[in-house]
Structure 1
């Protein structure tokens, strides 16, 4: 039988795009016999190789800068608009050569479809090969760059690329995405499969715990916590003080989502991946406001309106009273609403017609 491939282009900006894409790939592996050709940044692909090692015989990887995203200022969460634009200009100019090289690589493979989250390169490769091409995201870079008044020429290039999509799998909390003119299918929240045995072991070993993350695309100088006597799990890029029970998870930790699910409270940048992992694990969520970022502001506003999260300002990280935060979360977050959400991971393959 002829070997079928799903080609998947994943943004090389941060890790949130990759972690949610791994949830999709896990289901492709479970529900089909397809192989996956995964294209993303070297750092993201290294994580994927380790996470998907049990499927190594069905995976092929290509290391490639697939996105610029939003460049943050050093040691902060604010977007450096000038630097973002400076990096975007040569990136857009490189698309033609990148797409041509990918077409040569893929032209003799039997490909079922092309997926992209949400790099324009995937859309352009799919169009060039005349293959069914599906976008997966809660936003496109068009509205993100319009918000920052990035050069119109750059925005038009992204619009043109996304216009090649045949279908868009829309995650929960999606922005309006007016530039997407193809049919859409709502997916909801999804995350990687949780290991409940590991979560139980973590709870037994560490007791009450707190999970703090600002993602892997940014670094924070210092987070100081007060009035907390449990364990604090942190991801890389954050220096936390105020507790003698701080466990910094190594950069190559494969299952940060299990540590999140074992925690009583999650404090995080309002990126979609961490939000989805927290919501699907029914965790109380404290989101760090970044008014300069359209996606984060939208996510926070919608989740607060739905009584699924509370928020704090970045400046509050210098002195976080955890006891007060927990009290605020208890008053504002509806556990009844939170428990209504479930992981849609097992439904994504059928929704997108990949079976």
Structure 2
């Protein structure tokens, strides 16, 4: 990875049991991290979104990669902007599992277990958004709306 990359790291709220300082990725020199204002991690390449800033979707759209739990707000912004997404698996959370299964079915994310994330070294493959997924991005937005309407009207 030759150029500097920007990662939106969407963990912080309701993730208190994860020790963020255990992650090796903070030490990668060619990566700048954007985290929420309440994320308890510090470093020269880590920047917090100010608590008063309400347009977090701008940071997601500007990022080269989103690393997040499967919260639908972050995930939907990543899909809308076409930003490659790495979801941290939380199989004990039914909502997360359903969202992750849906995204994987449509090739819209990669997943990683917390234990794998601890020692992850990010390389170019994590920043690639599969061409088939990128071409289907608009189709997928329509599919998601259709699936929601099917649920509402069934």
Q: Deviations over 1:176-207 (max 9, x none)?
A: xxxxxxxxxxxxxxxxxxxxxxxxxxxxxxx7
2:118 alignment partner in structure 1:
318
Structure 1 or 2, whichever has the larger Rg, is: 1
Aligned 1:132-143 pairs, distance under 5 A: none
Quote the Cα distance in structure 2 between the aligned partners of 1:339 and 1:305.
Answer: 16
Does residue 249 (structure 1) correspond to residue 49 (structure 2)? The answer is yes
**CA gap 1:238/1:335 in 2 versus in 1, 3 angstroms:** farther
Secondary structure, aligned partner of 1:239:
coil
Higher relative contact order (Cα pairs below 8 Å, separated by 6+ residues): 2
2:80 alignment partner in structure 1:
280
1:291 alignment partner in structure 2:
91
Quote the Cα distance in structure 1 between the aligned partners of 2:87 and 2:67.
Answer: 6
**CA gap 1:228/1:267 in 2 versus in 1, 3 angstroms:** farther
Gaps of 5+ in 1: 1-206, 345-355
1:216 alignment partner in structure 2:
13
Q: Measure how far apart 1:299 and its partner are.
A: 1.1
TM-score (norm 1): 0.34
**CA gap 1:301/1:228 in 2 versus in 1, 3 angstroms:** farther
Q: Measure how far apart 1:338 and its partner are.
A: 2.6
Quote the Cα distance in structure 1 between the aligned partners of 2:127 and 2:107.
Answer: 9
TM-score (norm 2): 0.73
1:239 alignment partner in structure 2:
41
Gaps of 5+ in 2: 145-154
Whether the aligned pair in 2 keeps the contact of 1:210 and 1:232 (CA below 8 Å) is yes
Aligned 1:1-355 pairs, distance under 5 A: 208-219=5-16, 220-222=18-20, 223-225=23-25, 227=28, 229-235=30-36, 236-239=38-41, 244-323=44-123, 326-328=124-126, 330=128, 334-341=133-140
Q: Measure how far apart 1:247 and its partner are.
A: 0.6
Question: RMSD value over aligned CA atoms?
Answer: 2.7
The count of aligned residue pairs is 134
Higher strand share: 1
Quote the Cα distance in structure 1 between the aligned partners of 2:138 and 2:79.
Answer: 8
Secondary structure, aligned partner of 1:261:
helix
Whether the aligned pair in 2 keeps the contact of 1:284 and 1:309 (CA below 8 Å) is yes
